[in-house]
């Protein structure tokens, strides 16, 4: 008790000197809640102080409530893998209703979508306290992006993925508006007559495309030339339709990659005719969340995804886990250029990968 009082007196005196009424109030009320005897005596005093804070202090104080939010920007991030929307839920399909309820649950649990490009450059810029999530859709199914023709006009099918995401974002801007579609050259989105409009729509509205090989080739059975043809030819094909959309990541067809390191390098980068490609991230058909790109031991050529669905190790399962252990998630500090990490996890950060980002270590208990 004596210790607490001494501490409180110091805080009040110090706070008075600094004219820092707001800061003292916060600290005092937290301590006072543990020692009701001193509540009146202490909390009344700071209120008599003017409600002003020196400008310099505002600039140096991070606008982050570390005690409440407990940001952990070394925590887990899910890259969710979807394929088709269908009448029934199955291993690679989700009904419209289930997809909508996935989005709602993610949103309600504090997730915000980020583009794959943001994941790649380590800019997990979501509101404080929220968790970034990347949504991916493989194979370019028509249910991902479908146009309806009505009286000579075209409109986006309200039950396709793009329309559902647009609508969800409009009603919940904090969810963000991002997804990446992993496409093959064959017949992406099933309506060849509209492919130019669709790709332009994706670009104009912040969506992304990624490489899924020209003809969905199994890259594990190809030689160096074959891998470069499958990947470079796909890039070349989409560049010819829309040169603004860049393929900076790859979802491995069938989740399969060559086993030899020599051939794996062609999965990451290579050339084919006029097209060069560099996949900053190579995605597997995974079963678990990943970590930020600046994490120790992060291998961008083997990144796990969480498959959508209600089975073991699928999205619903992982969300159930996070309800029990929310501290495992990446929790944002809300600051784009700072990576806030509790002291205990300092070794999970690879300093060489931080680039321009500032590492801020803190003790969540003090």
Footprint of Zn ion on this chain (CB under 5 A)? Answer: 138-139
Nearer to Zn ion, 218 or 280 (CB): 218
- Which residues are within 8 A (CB) of 286 and not within 5 positions of it... i.e. 6 or more apart? 79, 81, 255, 303, 304, 305, 306, 307
Which pair of tokens denotes residue 282?
């190579």
DSSP state of 63: S
Nearer to Zn ion, 20 or 257 (CB): 257
Other CB atoms closer than 10 Å to residue 181's CB: what's the count? 28
Q: Give the closest residue to 200 by CA, choosing from 236, 232, 163, 238.
A: 238
* Side-chain-facing half-sphere of 231: CA atoms under 13 Å: 34
Which class for 65: exposed (0-12), middle (13-18), buried (19 or more C-beta within 10 A)?
middle
**Residue with the two structure tokens 């003017």:** 50
Nearer to Zn ion, 92 or 345 (CB): 92
For the bound state, the minimum distance from the C-beta of residue 188 to Zn ion, rounded and expressed in Å, comes to: 12
Nearer to Zn ion, 25 or 217 (CB): 217
Nearer to Zn ion, 156 or 285 (CB): 285
For the bound state, the minimum distance from the C-beta of residue 208 to Zn ion, rounded and expressed in Å, comes to: 17
For the bound state, the minimum distance from the C-beta of residue 134 to Zn ion, rounded and expressed in Å, comes to: 17
For the bound state, the minimum distance from the C-beta of residue 81 to Zn ion, rounded and expressed in Å, comes to: 10
Cα dihedral 93, 94, 96, 100, rounded to 10, equals: -140
The enclosing H or E element of 1 equals none
For the bound state, the minimum distance from the C-beta of residue 212 to Zn ion, rounded and expressed in Å, comes to: 6
Nearer to Zn ion, 109 or 285 (CB): 285
Cα dihedral 142, 143, 146, 148, rounded to 10, equals: 110
For the bound state, the minimum distance from the C-beta of residue 179 to Zn ion, rounded and expressed in Å, comes to: 16
For the bound state, the minimum distance from the C-beta of residue 351 to Zn ion, rounded and expressed in Å, comes to: 36
Nearer to Zn ion, 291 or 305 (CB): 305
Q: Give the closest residue to 272 by CA, choosing from 227, 221, 222.
A: 227
For the bound state, the minimum distance from the C-beta of residue 140 to Zn ion, rounded and expressed in Å, comes to: 9
Nearer to Zn ion, 111 or 145 (CB): 145
Q: How far is CA 195 from the centre of its chain?
A: 27
**b/e for 18-47, b at 16 or more Cβ within 10 A?**
eebbebbbebbeebbeeeeebeeebeebbe
């Amino acid at each position: 008790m004596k210790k607490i009082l001494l501490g409180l007196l110091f805080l009040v005196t110090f706070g008075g000197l600094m004219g820092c009424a707001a800061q003292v109030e916060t600290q005092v009320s937290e301590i006072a809640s543990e020692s009701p005897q001193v509540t009146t005596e202490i909390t009344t005093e700071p209120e008599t102080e003017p409600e002003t804070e020196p400008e310099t202090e505002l600039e140096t104080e991070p606008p982050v409530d570390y005690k409440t939010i407990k940001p952990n920007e070394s925590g887990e991030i899910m890259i969710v893998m979807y394929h088709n929307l269908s009448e029934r839920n199955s291993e690679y399909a989700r009904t419209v209703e289930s997809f909508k309820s996935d989005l709602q649950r993610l949103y309600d649990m504090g997730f915000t979508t980020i583009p794959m490009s943001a994941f790649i450059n380590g800019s997990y810029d979501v509101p404080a306290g929220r968790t970034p999530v990347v949504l991916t859709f493989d194979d370019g199914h028509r249910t991902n992006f479908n146009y309806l023709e009505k009286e000579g006009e075209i409109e986006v099918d309200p039950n396709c993925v793009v329309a559902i995401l647009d609508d969800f974002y409009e009603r919940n801007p904090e969810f963000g508006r991002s997804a990446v579609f992993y496409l093959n050259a064959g017949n992406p989105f099933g309506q060849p007559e509209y492919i130019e409009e669709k790709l332009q729509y994706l670009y104009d509205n912040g969506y992304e495309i990624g490489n899924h090989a020209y003809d969905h080739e199994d890259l594990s059975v190809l030689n160096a030339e074959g891998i470069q043809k499958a990947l470079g030819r796909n890039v070349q094909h989409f560049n010819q339709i829309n040169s603004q959309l860049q393929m900076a990541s790859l979802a491995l067809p069938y989740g399969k990659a060559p086993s030899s390191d020599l051939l794996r390098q062609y999965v990451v980068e290579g050339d084919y005719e006029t097209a060069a490609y560099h996949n900053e991230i190579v995605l597997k058909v995974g079963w678990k969340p990943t970590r930020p790109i600046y994490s120790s031991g992060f291998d961008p050529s083997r990144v796990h995804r969480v498959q959508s669905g209600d089975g073991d190790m699928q999205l619903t399962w992982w969300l159930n886990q996070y309800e029990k252990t929310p501290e495992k998630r990446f929790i944002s500090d809300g600051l784009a250029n700072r990576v806030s990490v509790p002291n205990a996890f300092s070794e999970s950060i690879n300093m060489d990968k931080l680039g321009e980002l500032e590492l801020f270590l803190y003790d969540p208990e003090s």
